[in-house]
Each structure stands twice: as structure tokens, then as C-alpha cells.
Chains A and B, each alone.
Chain A
Amino acid sequence: MKAVKTSIPGTRQPRRPRLAVAKFASCDGCQLTLLNLEDELLAVGDALEVTYFPEASSRMRGGPYDIALVEGSISMPEHARQLAELRKQARVLITIGACATAGGIQALRNWADLESYKRAVYPTPAYIQSLRTSTPISEHVSVDFELWGCPIDKQQLLRVLTDVLAGVQPFLPAHSVCLDCKRQGHPCVLVAKGLPCLGPVTRTGCGAICPGMGRDCYGCFGPVEGASPGPGIPPNTASLSDHFSSQFHLIPVELVRRFRGINGYLRPFREESHAWESSNKDSDAHR
């Protein structure tokens, strides 16, 4: 990867790389992580020219952009077109957060009947323009790097910007939450309290926040080792859910809910929830 170094056209005077922060269907929380950088915000401003960031400034300038951070899932008919345009304008496109990377909590509608939702919620459903499914950015355009989490971790955001600016592959470890949970010395809530912690199948990045508060991880950083690992490669969701079923006596509907959350639409979690849904399951049917 080439360093994102730029100069003003026709001169050798360097200019700051141009940053765009765009959103689709999302809550804006991940973009706020950028504004929450507080101590580092001035350094970000020194390193990048914030060109397009409606959440922060009404001065919105057009592309091309050196780096685009994209929040949110593709959820409305015009999203796909807007995204394609943004992709053309962006040298490096980085998705931020569970919505952009996995479809988000709104992807729960992928299992539901959209029309009945519209009728239940809106007095005039005809006004509602919505796609039947909510899908991650990577289903529509090529994505250079993905930041996970709901919301993303600010240190990871800073790191990905630092590395992209330096022209190196961003450092984004893909191991389990457990490894960081143990590095930090938290007592394991799964083993010591019998809570159905998803840490073993969840990707690191948050710093093991939930076990640090005595709570079980619910997988907000998505599956360990990514969205489409091959056969025999982690996450081993089947083994973990079998353990929750046989030892902690979770019933199938609880297991479906466990995996069908913020990242429920991603293949490893999606398939696990399907397995328990189609069960009411005799356990052999389940892999």
C-alpha cells in the first residue's frame, strides 16, 4: 500500500490528505467516536483536512477524497447509488462500525416481513422508502478496511488512520476477546459465573469492556477472524452454543437471540442462529 501523501496540484507543496465521513442507515455513534477523540482531535486536524463531515460541519465539499470513513448499512433505494458515487471519489474506503461492516441491528428485518413492520409503525406506510434488507457496505462496493464494534473503539480508529497515512497495512488484530480479557486479568464470567459469554467467538478490539464490568460479551465486535472464515477456522460458534445449551441450559430461542444481535447478519452468527431456529432441534441435526 502506498502512503497517503499528497501535494497541491502543480506544486510540490504538501497538502493534508482529504477526509470524508459519510453515513447511511445508522445512529451516528461511530462518527461521534471521531469527535470523542478529544486529546487527539487537534492531531487529527493537523494530519487530515476534514473535507466532508456533515455531523461536524455544514461546510460540505465534494470529492475526491483520500480517505472515506463510512458509517451505516445500505437500507434505502438511493443508498446504493450514493455509495457507488462515494466509492468512486475515495482512494481508501474504511467502514466504521457494525452497521457498515455487518448490516447492524437493523438487519434483524432481514428475517421479518418489511410490509408488516411498515404497517405496524407508520400511519401512512406508502411514504416509507425502504429496501427489504439491510446489508453491509461490502455487499455493494469493495471495502479497503473494516472497523468493527457498536460503537467502534477510538484507539482502533486512530490506529487505522495512523497506519493508512503511513502507507502500511492497518494493524487490526482478529483474535478473540478472551485473549485481551485474560491479558487484563478479568475473572472469566463464563467459567466463574456460568454466564453465556460470546467472548470466545468475538473479535477483539473493545478491550474486553463487558467482562471487565462482570458482564458477558454479546458479540458487538462481530465474529472472530472475520465474516467468512473457511471450514474448521474460528469462530467455532457450534461448540460454544452446544456448551450453553447442555451446561447452562439455554433453550433454542435463547441461542437464536444470542447470535442474532448487532452482528447477526454476518455469516458465522447468521448460520448459528439458523441452526438453532430450524432445530427445536435434535442435537444431531446441528452439524
Chain B
Amino acid sequence: MTNAIPQILPKSGFPRLIEALRAHHYRIVGPVVRDGALHWDEIAGVEDLPIGWQDTQQPGQYRLERTETTTWFGIVHGPDSIKRLTFVPREPLLTIERKAKKVTVTPQMPEPTPTALLGVRACDVAGLLVHDRIFLQGRYADPYYQVRRDALLVIAVNCTRAHKTCFCASMGTGPRAQSGYDLALTEFEDEFLVSVGSEKGREIIELLELPSASPAYQRQEQERIDACAASQVRGLQEQHRLPQGLYEVHEHPRWETVAHRCLACANCTMVCPTCFCHTVEDHPDLSHTRNERVRLWDSCFTPQHGMIHGKNFRPTIADRYRMWLTHKLASWIDQFGVSGCVGCGRCLTWCPVGIDLTEELHALMRENVDQATP
């Protein structure tokens, strides 16, 4: 499916795509500017897109600005990956009620509206596939995630501009969306190249009867995406030595060094498209007859996360940062068969003090090599 010839969708014809999505009963959620950052929100039409806006990102800093350009998808991304729509921050699970000694348990299943997500970056599509492995495989598929996931149609946008924080190229997840999308767009000045990634996507795009792109056009598309990959300054070059390499540096002094900077604030885990830690809370009422059980985003940086009866087995910031990085980049591979990092760079940008996990990994692994060399 993915090797079918891409088609040309002129920007002036974009409302037809929106109509086609509506005809298939999708609401459309896209990137929207609010309070100085990009968010996912329902859009009525093209006019709600952040046309002409751009972001700049560096460790610990994010800024939006209006530019002279008329680029529609000029902002690479905001703090929210698409996990906010599938693995929601607060998921009511069930209610438990007690009436006259009888206890009733009522599951609270979400009933999501079919949603076309417009403008998903390659790293986020990759993140979604990581979550699919976590939530949907094996005997314990998560029904809450499942229904939200099934309601999604993913319209990716391939990147032609990267930030200093991006390193999808080194993770093999971008800048071109690899798989897991229904449609993928590449933006040009006056049109988009549209690639079909699934049967659902084909059904939509067929309605539009678009012309195919010439080989020259396709080459131009590839050049833009390649240039974006080439512009990326960061990477996880040590990837091939993982997971083992990180297990070997469990006692490295660098964990203490980074703990002097790390605030254990949890921002990195909140913005990461693959972090999936959650806590389950009971919210009883004062009369102790009704209880709401909810699932909330959690993080390995919180004090509760390492708490067992009477003791926290990860009390220090160094313990917690090591837990995070080692799980993300190493034991994740043992557990799920892929890295827990898709190279989106969000944890660098949204870390209040700009801690850069690529730099931390370099420091941990480089010095290890030095130590090993006599």
C-alpha cells in the first residue's frame, strides 16, 4: 500500500479532504496555537491551522513566532504528543457503589467520537505504535486504550524542517512517517503530496480523484525530507550497544552529576510520546458509599512511584533519573522489543533546566569506553 504512487492535493482543494473526512463521520483534530504553544484541538477548517507560525526549540526553551511564510504545518510540535488522545491523562475506570450492604461495580467505558488527527509527526506515529505494543498485545489488551485507538484516523505530515532537539533520523522513526499512518502529507508551497498508508486512508483519498505525482516530483519530496534528516544535529549513536551498554554503567558517577541538575519534576515523562506510567486512584465520597476509580498519568520521578510498604526504594533524584533513562533506552528493548525513545526531542525542550538525554547517554557510554581501554 505504501509503495503506491503519491498523489497531488492542491492547497486550494484541501477543503475537499475535510469534507471527505466529515462524510466518513470524523471530527477533525489538528494543531492549534494557544497561549504560546501548540495543542491538539478540534478544528472547523483550514482557517484554524497555525498558518505562517513557526516554533523554535532548544533544551529548556520553546517559542512561537509568526513568519512571512504561508506554511501550514510550520510548527514542528508542541508539548503534547498524541498520547493525550489515546492514553488520556485522566481516565475514569469504574465506579463502586454500596447500597444497603450491596456493592455494585460499574465500568466507565469511554465512547470516543471517530477522530481524524491531522498533522501528526513521524515521531508521534512511531510513538503510537510503541503504545500499541504496550497496551494492545498479548492477553491483557487495555480496553480503554483500545476503544480510543480504534476511533483514530492518523493523517501524518512528513517533516521538512527539524529542530536542534530532533533526532528521529538516528532512531529510524522519521522525518518521513514510516508506518502506522492512514494518510501522510508532505507540504510544498501550493500543494501536498499525499501517500496512502492503509485501506481506511485509501477509502478517503479515492473520493478526491487526485492526479499522481511525477517521478521528478517524488524525487523532490525525498530531497526535502533527506535535507531535514541531514540537518539534525543530535542522535543516539550508541543505540547499537543497547540495552547491554547501559546495564554496565549502573554505578557510573554521571548519575550523580545529572542528579545535581535534575529536578525530578516529571515533565520529561509527561511530554514523552511513549512514557506510559500511570497510577490508579480511588476517590471516595465522604459517606463512604460511592467511589470513583480513575487512572492518571504518573511518572517514575514521583516519590510515590518507588514506594512500597513503609519504604521508598528510589529515594534520590539519581535513582529516579537512572530508572528513567535505563528503562527508556535499555530495558524497554527487553520488555517490548523496541526502544522507548522515538527521537522527538520533547524531553529536551520541555525539561525546565534543559537536560539532554542524548548528552547524558554519550557521557555515560563514552566514559565507559574510556574506562575499558587500558
Contact = CB atoms under 8 A, between A and B. Distances in A.
Interface in B326-374: 349-354
Interface string B262-296: 11111100110000000001111111100000001
A47 B287 contact: yes
Interface string A244-275: 00010000000000000000000000000000
Nearest to B256: A232
A175 B318 contact: no
Chain B, interface residues (CB within 8 Å), range: 35 or more
Contact of A175 (B80, B84, B286, B304): B304
Given A191-B61, A200-B267, A183 B261 contact: no
17 contacts: A44-B286, A162-B285, A166-B288, A175-B299, A176-B266, A178-B266, A182-B271, A187-B79, A188-B62, A191-B350, A200-B265, A225-B303, A233-B315, A236-B261, A240-B263, A243-B352, A243-B353
Nearest to B78: A187
B286 A47 contact: yes
Contacts of B139: none
Interface of A: 40, 43-44, 46-47, 158-159, 161-162, 165-166, 171, 173-176, 178-179, 182-188, 190-194, 197, 199-201, 214, 224-225, 230-236, 238-240, 243, 247
Contacts of B25: none
Contact of A179 (B39, B60, B299, B315): B299
Nearest to B298: A179
Determine chain B's interface SS by DSSP, over half rule: loop
Contacts of A247: 60
B283 to A, nearest CB: 8
B62 A191 contact: yes
Interface of B: 34-37, 39, 60-64, 78-80, 84, 89-90, 259-267, 270-271, 281-288, 296-299, 301-304, 315-318, 349-354
A234 B265 CA distance: 9
A184 B288 contact: no
Contact of A174 (B35, B303, B315, B353): B303
A166 B39 contact: no
B212 to A, nearest CB: 40
Contacts of A162: 284-286, 288
